[in-house]
Amino acid sequence: MTIRIAPSILSADFANLERELGRIATADMVHVDVMDNHFVPNLTIGLPVVTRLQQVSPVPLDVHLMVSDADTNAPKYAETGAASVTFHIEAATDPVATAAAIRSNGARAAVAVKPGTDIAPVLDHLDAYDMVLLMTVEPGFGGQAFMPQVMPKLAAARAAVAASGLDVWLEVDGGIALDTVEEAVSNGADTLVAGSAVYGGDPAERIAGLRAAASRVA
């Protein structure tokens, strides 16, 4: 199983984002959290900043939209050239159509589920998505503790992907660090979002450490 590390710039220095992107050049992607202070109780960045990040980033953008009205908003972010755009199923009226619109705009289409959200509707339409993001914290803020109770849902998603034969990535976001990465990967995750676990020290060393820990159980 191929492991991908996607550092979250939610833990980066927002006054120096281009520099902060350069510090994670050894990562597979950069996780860009877009929050609207409506779907989640926090406000980060929007479309103009994501557009500019796409122009300067040394690694592909993995845009995670924690915003309302995903049906309207998600396709717009795909137009920036981002490699992947994730929207929350809780914020979409027609998630399959929204995913199709993201794909038509040139990005991989991904859907996210909160810890308490039933994943069955996603698994029923796996062919509509290129990635499924399982939140291992409540979305909205960085630095929260990993929620192991999400692991059975992750394992069920891995089993469904394996049975389907589709190339659907499984991403986890929230509390990923050296002491949780093996549990996430052993339950089926192949794409790992880490914020403070990367930016809390030397990013290149932290990325290498996470990759090594994940590879032990991949």
Kindly provide the residue ranges of all beta strands, DSSP E only, lying in 69-107, ordered along the sequence: 84-88
Catalytic, 33? Answer yes
State both tokens at 182: 């093996």
User: Among 150, 142, 141, which Cα is nearest to 189's?
Assistant: 150
| Marked catalytic residue, from 28, 62, 130, 173 | 173
Q: What is the largest CA-CA distance in the chain?
A: 45
Specify the residue for token string 């630095």.
143
The phi, psi pair for 41, rounded to 5°, reads: -85, 55
| Marked catalytic residue, from 28, 33, 62, 190 | 33
If you ran DSSP here, which 8-state letter would residue 43 be given?
A: B
Q: How far apart are the C-alpha atoms of 12 and 200, rounded to whole Å?
A: 9
> Taking a C-beta distance cutoff of 8 angstroms, is the pair 102, 75 a contact?
yes
Q: How far apart are the C-alpha atoms of 171 and 184, rounded to whole Å?
A: 9
Q: Which residues are catalytic?
A: 33, 173
